[in-house]
Structure 1
Amino acid sequence: MTRLYAILAVVFVAALAGGTWLMTRGGGDGGDRFAQCRSSKIAGGAETIGGAFELVNAAGETVTDKDVFTEPSILYFGYTFCPDVCPLDVSRNAETIDVLAERGISATPVFVSIDPERDTPEVVGDFAHNMHEKMIGLTGSLDQVKAASRAYKTYYKKQQGDEDYYLVDHSTFSYLVLPEVGFVEFFRRNETPEQMADKIACFVENM
């Protein structure tokens, strides 16, 4: 089963990297209220991405997806020891939140650690707060993190190395999640805060 999820995650990442998501046969918008906002089509529909999860916040409290996504949120899976990619991506997401605020749209950046062995609630909380005052940092048990990652079809793999100093390969997409709706869009690394804000505003206007 673990191997199956890994294969599905790789296929998902490869599809995104290719820049195109294909509709299932007999596609069409199917009454999608966000059709004009989407930059690409998703095989099986957006409802195939995301779902319920339980993780642990900076205060050490177990929270669910409903507790976390109370307003439009930008979700990212990474780890605090990441030397370059994560800080840049998370900083970009935080800047997007500020651009949205300037436009009168309140949104929340969410960071989920895929390295719970090192990323304790306190560590994740400090990282998130340093990135943005509104950012929610989440971690959890290995099983909790794995379940959340599977729900969003992300990929990560711990590399061999010293017990305290090792890298984790992972996918780098950011996800737009709306309360009472769920996942609706993804963002690639090359998108700017302004471009992300433009897309998010469209989804918010059509909620």
Structure 2
Amino acid sequence: MSRSSRLPLILLVLAAIVLAALWVLKPDKAPEGNLSGAAVGGPFTLTDETGARVTSESYDGKWRLMYFGFTYCPDVCPVDTAKLGEGLKLFEAKHPDAALKVQPLFVTVDPERDTPEALAEFTDNFHPRLVGLTGSRAEIEAALKTFRIYASKVPGVTEGSYTYDHLAVIYLMDPKGRPVEFIAGPTATPELVEAMLSRFLA
């Protein structure tokens, strides 16, 4: 085969290599939900309920079902976390394999009281795979800022006691930690959580 006859074949091979590279390197589009493109989420470094240090990368490859609250919350947080847990259980019953791709997370806004032990006791009430996250005050503040969560300490009725006024929302983040969808805590139901998961994972 002459050099001139080999040239078109070489060009075809090069073109195929370039197209393959472009396919591999093309941007992975995030799922389309009511949070798509929002400036919510990002890197974090915290401590899980076993005392292990974790980062946002610890959950890469998993869909994250997230809620920010505190274990001393008298009503809102337990109710919302129950909705999250029950919704995930409904999804597990319908799509057990897909459900394994979901990591539920409860991030405290009150690290002074929410030790890993306190979080483990709290999360066990709602779902066996729900993981509580805490950290230093600085780490929690950084996470709150990253996830656009408002949380303000409110003095209690007795001296030294306090509670928190905070944004109550259930977030769904994709396996790369990008924001996909949210459900406001007051309007959430287990069925809405299950439907959200089914829409993106089933």
In the superposition, the TM-score normalised over structure 1's length comes to: 0.75
Partners in 1 of 2:197 and 2:159 — Cα distance? 40
TM-aligned CA deviation for residue 176 of structure 1: 0.3
Which of 87, 95, 102 pairs up with 1:96?
A: 87
Cα offsets for 1:54-86 (capped at 9, x unmatched): 010112111001213542221000000000000
Cα offsets for 1:17-49 (capped at 9, x unmatched): xxxxxxxxxxxxxx96633xx2x466xx23x11
Q: How does 1:145-184 map to 2 (within 5 A)?
A: 145-161=140-156, 162=158, 165-184=161-180
Q: Tell me what 1:202 maps to.
A: 199
CA separation of 1:163 and 1:110: change in aligned 2, threshold 3 A: farther
Q: Higher helix share goes to which structure?
A: 2
Which of 131, 135, 141 pairs up with 2:130?
A: 135
Q: Tell me what 2:63 maps to.
A: 72
Q: Tell me what 2:104 maps to.
A: 109
CA separation of 1:181 and 1:123: change in aligned 2, threshold 3 A: closer
In the superposition, the TM-score normalised over structure 2's length comes to: 0.77
Determine if contact 2:71/2:119 at 8 Å carries over to the other structure.
Answer: yes
CA RMSD of aligned residues (A): 2.0
Partners in 1 of 2:35 and 2:64 — Cα distance? 20
AA aligned opposite 1:50:
G
CA separation of 1:149 and 1:199: change in aligned 2, threshold 3 A: same
TM-aligned CA deviation for residue 175 of structure 1: 0.2
CA separation of 1:72 and 1:163: change in aligned 2, threshold 3 A: farther
Partners in 2 of 1:185 and 1:109 — Cα distance? 14
What are the ranges of 5 or more consecutive residues in structure 2 without an aligned counterpart?
A: 1-27
| Structure ranking higher on relative contact order (CA contacts 8 Å, 6+ apart) | 2
Determine if contact 1:51/1:152 at 8 Å carries over to the other structure.
Answer: yes
CA separation of 1:98 and 1:147: change in aligned 2, threshold 3 A: same
What SS does structure 2 have at the residue aligned with 1:196?
helix
Determine if contact 1:69/1:177 at 8 Å carries over to the other structure.
Answer: no
Q: Higher strand share goes to which structure?
A: 2
CA separation of 1:181 and 1:76: change in aligned 2, threshold 3 A: closer
What are the ranges of 5 or more consecutive residues in structure 1 without an aligned counterpart?
A: 1-30
CA separation of 1:41 and 1:78: change in aligned 2, threshold 3 A: closer
Larger radius of gyration: 2
Instruction: Give the count of matched residue pairs.
Output: 169
What SS does structure 1 have at the residue aligned with 2:54?
strand
Of stretches 177-186 and 65-74 in structure 1, the one that deviates more from structure 2 is 65-74
What SS does structure 1 have at the residue aligned with 2:125?
helix
AA aligned opposite 2:120:
G
